[in-house]
Each structure stands twice: as structure tokens, then as C-alpha cells.
């Protein structure tokens, strides 16, 4: 999860490329840090497959169609089909596993890897970018806040239904300085996004079968 959460905390923070650049700061004896670093590499490898796979590309196109079908006069709405389809898949996983089970797993992960995750952010980004120390404290605070909020449950549970996905979509747009949705727009978008649930459920099953 960390590379995605880093971008949510600060859009400037991202994994080093190639990832091997970050490993030199992790000692052989620091097992937790090495586990986190391997997890980040796994995330990057999975992304390379995922974003080219039909399970993503066809879902993204369906999401564009659903947003257009919502018939709302919202600027640049379809530009956010990519993250919205990813959130739809998150929601399908929450429905499959249960919101509480996902919450417990995520909370345990944050608790186990808190210090190592902080070190990984420095190894991947802050130690390689000029001037990064100027925003590291704000980044750390944001990451702590997100870990706390995700561990509570409602944020994760929200991915499992259309109204929650509309809130997530509104939050992404807000970070780009775009206007909030009206109540009528929210209702129409929720109806449109709900039509994607069967496709997302089937897509998650396909992804899990592929391992």
C-alpha cells in the first residue's frame, strides 16, 4: 500500500527508480525494513502487470462509460476513471473479505511496520531529492493521520459501496482544486458507479486466481 499512500500524503513522494537505489540505506540486520522494501518492490512489479492487463483496461473503459452515462455537468470527470476503477476493485475486495477483516489486517500492518515504513520513505524519496527535508515533517504527519483513519474502519468500509466511492472521487478531485459535487450530482454518480460493482467483483476474482 505504501507507494499509493505516499502519493496521497504528498504527490511529490514516490518510489525511487530503479528501486535498487533505495536498498543501500537498509542494513542486513533490519528485517522489518527489508520486508517493507520488498513489499514496495512487489507493488511496483504488480502495477506493471496490472495497468496493462485487460482486467484493468476494460474496467477503466467501462468506468468512463458509466461516468458519461451519469449525465452530470462536471468538468474533467472522466479523467478520474483510472483511480475510480482502482477504488471499485478495492471495494470488491472489501465486499469479498469483509470490511472488519480488512481493517484488522491493515491496522496490524501499520502497527508492525510503522518505523520501517518511515525509513522506507526516506530511502526511496527524501534522501534523493533536493529540498525534500522542507516537507518531510508534514508528510510524516499526514501518513500518521492516514494510518490512524484507515485503522478505524469507516474509510475502508466506504470502498464497499457506491456512496463511499463518490466521496473518495470527490476527495481526489478536491486535491486538484476542482469544485465539489452537488447533492444531485452525488446521487447520479452513485447510481452510475453501482453499475460497476458486478464487473469489479468478477475482476477481483480473476486477479486472485492469477495470484
Q: Whole-angstrom Cα distance, residue 102 to residue 130?
A: 37
What's the sign of the alpha-carbon dihedral 97, 98, 102, 105?
A: negative
Record the cell numbers describing residue 47, joined without a space: 502495477
pLDDT at residue 200 tops 70? yes
Percent of the chain with pLDDT over 90: 85
Query: What's the CA gap between 158 and 99, in Å, rounded?
Result: 9
Would you place residue 27 in the very low, low, confident or very high pLDDT band (cuts 50, 70, 90)? low
User: Which pLDDT band, with edges at 50, 70 and 90, does 29 fall under?
Assistant: low
Rounded CA-CA distance 27/188 in Å is 52
What's the residue count for the chain? 211
Q: What region does 54 belong to: left with phi over 0, alpha with psi -120 to 50, or beta? A: alpha
Q: What is the pTM of this model?
A: 0.90
- For residue 28, pLDDT over 70 is answered with no
Average per-residue pLDDT for the chain: 93
Q: Is 108 exposed, middle or buried (CB count within 10 Å of its CB: 0-12, 13-18, 19+)?
A: exposed
Burial class (CB in 10 A: 0-12, 13-18, 19+), 59: buried
Residue 127 has pLDDT above 70, yes or no: yes
153: pLDDT strictly greater than 90: yes
Task: Indicate if the pLDDT at residue 25 is higher than 80.
Answer: no
Q: How confident is the model at residue 31 (pLDDT cuts 50, 70, 90)?
A: confident
Residue labelled with grid coordinates 477481483: 204
| Nearest residue to 88 (alpha-carbon basis) of 163, 7, 2, 193 | 193
Cα gap 90→60, rounded to integer Å:
14
Residues 175-198 pLDDT 10s: 899 999 999 999 999 999 999 999
- Listed residue (186, 179, 143) closest to 161, CA to CA: 186
Mean pLDDT, rounded, for 18-39: 80
Whether residue 149 contacts residue 177, with contact meaning beta carbons closer than 8 Å, is answered with: no
On the question of pLDDT at 88 being above 70, the answer is yes
Amino acid at each position: 500500500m505504501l507507494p499509493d499512500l505516499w502519493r496521497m500524503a504528498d504527490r511529490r513522494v514516490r518510489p525511487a527508480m530503479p528501486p535498487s537505489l533505495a536498498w543501500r540505506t537498509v542494513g542486513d540486520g533490519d528485517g522489518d525494513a527489508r520486508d517493507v522494501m520488498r513489499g514496495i518492490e512487489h507493488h511496483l512489479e504488480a502495477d506493471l502487470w496490472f495497468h496493462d492487463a485487460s482486467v484493468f483496461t476494460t474496467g477503466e473503459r467501462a468506468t468512463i462509460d458509466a461516468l458519461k452515462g451519469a449525465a452530470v455537468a462536471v468538468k474533467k470527470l472522466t479523467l478520474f476513471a483510472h483511480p475510480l476503477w482502482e477504488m471499485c476493485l478495492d471495494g470488491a475486495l472489501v465486499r469479498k473479505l469483509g470490511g472488519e477483516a480488512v481493517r484488522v489486517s491493515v491496522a496490524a500492518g501499520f502497527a508492525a511496520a510503522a518505523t520501517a515504513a518511515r525509513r522506507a520513505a526516506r530511502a526511496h524519496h527524501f534522501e534523493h531529492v533536493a529540498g525534500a527535508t522542507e516537507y518531510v515533517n508534514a508528510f510524516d504527519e499526514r501518513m500518521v493521520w492516514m494510518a490512524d483513519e484507515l485503522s478505524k474502519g469507516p474509510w475502508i468500509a466506504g470502498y464497499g459501496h457506491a456512496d463511499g466511492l463518490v466521496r473518495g472521487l470527490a476527495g481526489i478531485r478536491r486535491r486538484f482544486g476542482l469544485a465539489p459535487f452537488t447533492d444531485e450530482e452525488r446521487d447520479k454518480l452513485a447510481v452510475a458507479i453501482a453499475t460497476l460493482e458486478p464487473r469489479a467483483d468478477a475482476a477481483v476474482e480473476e486477479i486472485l486466481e492469477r495470484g
